[in-house]
Structure 1
Amino acid sequence: MKVAVVGAGAIGAYVGAALHRAGADVHLIARGAHLEALRSHGVRVLSPRGDFEGRPHATDDPAEVGPVDYVFLGLKANAYAASGPLVAPLLHERTALVAAQNGIPWWYFHGLPGRHSGRRLQSVDPGGSVSRALPPERAIGCVVYAATELEAPGVVRHLEGTRFSIGEPDMTVSRRCLDFSEAMQAGGLKCPVEPDVRNDIWIKLLGNISFNPISALSRATMAEICRHPDARGLVTAMMRETLEVAARLGSRPQISIERRLAGAERVGEHKTSTLQDLERGKPLELDVLLAAVVELAELTGTAVPTLRAIHAVADLLNRTTSRSLK
């Protein structure tokens, strides 16, 4: 099995090192000091489950790698539209794209029966720009439950979780999913093949859609948000509205709001990725988290006043912050 990791940051390098440990032919696409470290000493993973190292091939030139069986996308979703030049040299006729992203994916309605089948969401696939770079028929959904951070160039700190749920957009259990799952498990990761991975998307989104923008607006950690009664109530309202949108689309994830809150509180004094991006002066990944669900609410006629309000101020924060960096 030949795998390219496009965006070999903390999650991408972690997955690449695990697959390499399993015997896959892995190629990491990276840049800068991180790439130089990968080239000189490979990936070093520091984990409570046991440290390990891997030395997969690393490059900044996908043409050097050539066509692969799987492309694991470790990029933020807001970089997908511009990823075409990186991905195109890696494709052959059957190459699958394993899209490890938060939020609503660009392929959400691909292969989904019903009146919305094939619909494109402007918030996540503006003008079809993502679909042109990443054809939906190649996509395998992937929901990441692992937490990692790049401690230093070439050094990944694994904090918790090893689960990467995957599934086909058309809800079949395909051979390509089973093969990728087997390789991930051989590398020490959990990788269940879900008949309907959209349920996992909504479960993960419950936390991202609420904690991520609130943390950026307040500069608070997840535990601080949970301990503040009014902020906790705000999170609850956002989760409730999100579950209603999911239900209108036929998804009913089997998790309660209280259980989701308890899980977030256990994470502790953790800064969400959106708050970390804000502190680093990076664009905030809000379109796939908030704007997409507001668009889906309009599509299904669902009232989401809390989501709309938080989206308005978070989007304003993103725009003013981006303007100040120019």
Structure 2
Amino acid sequence: MKYLIIGGGAIGSVLSAYMTKAGKDVTLITRGPHLEAIREQGGLELYYAPDDERFLVPVRAVTGEEYHEQPDVVILAVKAYAIESIYPLLNRVCTASTVVLPVLNALDIGAHIERGLEAKPILAQGEAYVACELVAPGKCKHKLDFFRIVFGPRADQPVFGFAALIKEDLIESGCTAEINEDMLQAALMKFCRVSAISGAMVYYNAQLGEIKKDPEKTEFMIGLCKELIALGETSGHPFPPEFDAVEDLRYIVAAAPDDYRTSLMYDYLADRPVEWRTMFQDPYLMGRRFGLEMPSYGKVCEVFDLEGSVLA
């Protein structure tokens, strides 16, 4: 199958490198110094930190304007706030049989995409679990020994025809891939890690070590997790009984270094655009629609709600 990965950030770059290395037909859409470096050095430099290994992978990278093929699968690895900027490209390359698979931090980014696109591809939903970083133009780092992608249909949609082939290709590329027919559940489960940790970091403007050592800050982070658990139960998408989201969060936090920051926190501290609407506002508003108070998420939203419009 022919893959197009849109977004040359950390996840898009690392995934394109692994898929290229596995012999898959994949093209990466990126731009600027990152694209220039890939072209100049003949590929993307991938550093796999756990084994201290470096690879120069001949990733095929182009700008959106230079891409004129028709992919079977489009993997979206852009930030949620930039999704509208790629609509012209999606409208140009997608057909009714194209699978568009977002792997970004959102509960249902497909709803936003569906409203904005003229093309009508098959919209899926995905979540990526990976610790990676774009350390310099043309250079990315896979920091920990896991790369897991959970994907499936959007709510009330059947599993799409390419799902099994996509799973096989991802596994052959070194990922742990799973098809989940309840992607809202899967997204909420991931948010119990990434959104809860990011929310506490932003609210207290603190690194993880400070949150770990302060019981009040730790309890606030766990409170965010508990609100997501309640949202899953109230919305009809409860977590599997064998999954203890609070204990999972405690384990992840304990294992991470004190200076750990999420990508959202890096953006926040650098005064770059932040995915706060999908990461914090969407769960807050969804919870309120189901009659939940969501007090911790309300406090995080207030950090960004400078004009008083979000929580009205």
Q: Which residue of 1 aligns with 2:90?
A: 87
Going from structure 1 to structure 2, the CA distance change for 1:77 and 1:134 (only over 3 Å counts) comes to farther
Q: Which residue of 2 aligns with 1:292?
A: 282
How far apart are 1:307 and its partner, in Å?
1.6
Q: Which residue of 2 aligns with 1:323?
A: none
Q: Which residue of 2 aligns with 1:66?
A: 69
Going from structure 1 to structure 2, the CA distance change for 1:78 and 1:234 (only over 3 Å counts) comes to same
Alignment-mate amino acid for residue 148 of structure 2? R
Name the SS of the counterpart of 1:303 in structure 2.
coil
Alignment-mate amino acid for residue 233 of structure 1? E
Q: Which residue of 2 aligns with 1:110?
A: none
Deviations 1:13-41 (A, max 9, x none): 11111111222221111111100112222
Deviations 1:209-256 (A, max 9, x none): 322133134332223212211001111222112211121111122333
Name the SS of the counterpart of 2:227 in structure 1.
helix
Q: Which residue of 1 aligns with 2:292?
A: 302
How far apart are 1:101 and its partner, in Å?
0.9
Going from structure 1 to structure 2, the CA distance change for 1:293 and 1:158 (only over 3 Å counts) comes to same
Name the SS of the counterpart of 1:145 in structure 2.
strand
Alignment check: 8 A CA contact 2:46 2:141 kept = yes
Q: Which residue of 2 aligns with 1:114?
A: none
Give the Cα separation in 1 of the matches to 2:114 and 2:273: 18
Alignment check: 8 A CA contact 1:277 1:284 kept = yes
Give the Cα separation in 2 of the matches to 1:91 and 1:136: 8
How far apart are 1:132 and its partner, in Å?
1.9
> Which of 132, 155, 158 matches 2:139?
155
Alignment check: 8 A CA contact 1:29 1:60 kept = yes
Give the Cα separation in 2 of the matches to 1:45 and 1:63: 24
Alignment-mate amino acid for residue 45 of structure 1? L
Going from structure 1 to structure 2, the CA distance change for 1:39 and 1:134 (only over 3 Å counts) comes to farther
What are the ranges of 5 or more consecutive residues in structure 2 without an aligned counterpart? none
Q: Which residue of 2 aligns with 1:259?
A: 248
Q: Which residue of 2 aligns with 1:78?
A: 81
**Does 2:192 correspond to 1:192?**
no
Taking the TM superposition and a 5 Å limit, the aligned residue runs for 1:202-281 are 202-253=188-239, 254-268=243-257, 269-281=259-271
Alignment check: 8 A CA contact 1:102 1:289 kept = yes
How far apart are 1:96 and its partner, in Å?
0.8
Name the SS of the counterpart of 2:162 in structure 1.
helix
Alignment-mate amino acid for residue 60 of structure 1? T
Identical-residue share of aligned pairs (%)? 23
Give the Cα separation in 1 of the matches to 2:56 and 2:115: 35
**Does 2:90 correspond to 1:142?**
no
Q: Which residue of 2 aligns with 1:37?
A: 37
How far apart are 1:135 and its partner, in Å?
6.5
**Does 2:125 correspond to 1:132?**
no
Deviations 1:257-308 (A, max 9, x none): 1221221231222111122002222111111111111211221111212221
Deviations 1:87-112 (A, max 9, x none): 222213311111011131233xxxxx
Q: Which residue of 2 aligns with 1:166?
A: 151
Q: Which residue of 1 aligns with 2:58?
A: 55
Q: Which residue of 2 aligns with 1:322?
A: none
Q: Which residue of 1 aligns with 2:8?
A: 8
Going from structure 1 to structure 2, the CA distance change for 1:284 and 1:315 (only over 3 Å counts) comes to farther
Higher share of residues assigned strand: 2
What are the ranges of 5 or more consecutive residues in structure 1 without an aligned counterpart? 108-119, 320-326
Give the Cα separation in 2 of the matches to 1:138 and 1:183: 18
Alignment check: 8 A CA contact 1:223 1:265 kept = no
Name the SS of the counterpart of 1:101 in structure 2.
coil
Deviations 1:145-194 (A, max 9, x none): 11110111111100122111111124644431111111111111111112
Alignment-mate amino acid for residue 308 of structure 1? G
Give the Cα separation in 1 of the matches to 2:19 and 2:196: 32
Alignment-mate amino acid for residue 150 of structure 1? L
Give the Cα separation in 1 of the matches to 2:142 and 2:102: 20
For the aligned residue pairs, the C-alpha RMSD in angstroms reads 2.2
Alignment check: 8 A CA contact 2:7 2:77 kept = yes
Going from structure 1 to structure 2, the CA distance change for 1:267 and 1:154 (only over 3 Å counts) comes to same
Alignment check: 8 A CA contact 2:90 2:119 kept = no
Going from structure 1 to structure 2, the CA distance change for 1:15 and 1:44 (only over 3 Å counts) comes to same
